[in-house]
C-alpha cells in the first residue's frame, strides 16, 4: 500500500477546487455581464411609461402609468384619472391592481 502525503494531497485538492471555482466564477461573471447589457436602459424606458405617485389622493390628476398605493395595495392608472374622481377598483374605473 502506498503512503499518501496528506499535505501534498491537500495542495493538489486545493488546486483542483480553485480551478473549478475560477471556471464557475468566469461563467457567472459572463452571465451577469450579459444580463446587465440586456437590462441597460430598461429603467429609463420604464420611467417614461410608469411612475410611482405615492399614496392615492383624490385631489390629484393621474396620468396613465401612475402607480399609487391605496389600503396597502398598489394600483396603476390605465387611463387619465381626473382630480375629484372617487377611487374605485371596479373594472372600467381606470385603475388596475398591481400588488
Residue 57 lies in a domain: yes
Residue 91 lies in a domain: yes
Express each pLDDT in 66-97 by its tens digit. Answer: 999 999 999 999 999 999 988 888 888 899 99
Q: 54 and 71, same structural domain?
A: yes
Residue 78 lies in a domain: yes
Domain that holds residue 23: 6-40
Q: 32 and 66, same structural domain?
A: no
Residue 77 lies in a domain: yes
pTM value > 0.85: no
Predicted pLDDT of residue 39: 81
Beta carbons within 8 Å of 81's beta carbon, 6+ residues apart: 61, 62, 66, 94, 95
DSSP 3-state assignment of 99?
A: coil
Residue 1 lies in a domain: no
Predicted pLDDT of residue 93: 86
Asked whether the predicted pLDDT for residue 5 surpasses 70, the reply is: yes
Residue 19 lies in a domain: yes
CATH of the domain at 66: 2.10.10
Question: How many domains are contained in the chain?
Answer: 2
Q: 53 and 93, same structural domain?
A: yes
Express each pLDDT in 41-69 by its tens digit. Answer: 777 777 778 889 999 999 999 999 999 99
Express each pLDDT in 15-44 by its tens digit. Answer: 999 999 999 999 999 999 988 888 877 777
Amino acid at each position: 500500500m502506498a503512503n499518501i502525503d496528506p499535505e501534498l494531497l491537500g495542495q493538489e485538492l486545493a488546486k483542483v477546487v480553485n480551478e473549478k471555482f475560477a471556471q464557475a466564477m468566469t461563467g457567472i461573471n459572463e452571465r451577469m455581464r450579459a444580463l446587465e447589457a440586456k437590462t441597460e436602459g430598461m429603467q429609463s424606458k420604464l420611467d417614461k411609461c410608469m411612475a410611482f405617485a405615492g399614496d392615492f389622493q383624490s385631489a390629484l390628476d393621474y396620468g396613465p402609468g401612475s402607480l399609487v398605493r391605496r389600503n396597502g395595495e398598489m394600483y396603476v392608472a390605465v387611463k387619465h384619472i381626473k382630480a375629484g374622481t372617487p377611487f374605485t377598483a371596479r373594472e372600467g374605473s381606470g385603475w388596475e391592481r398591481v400588488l
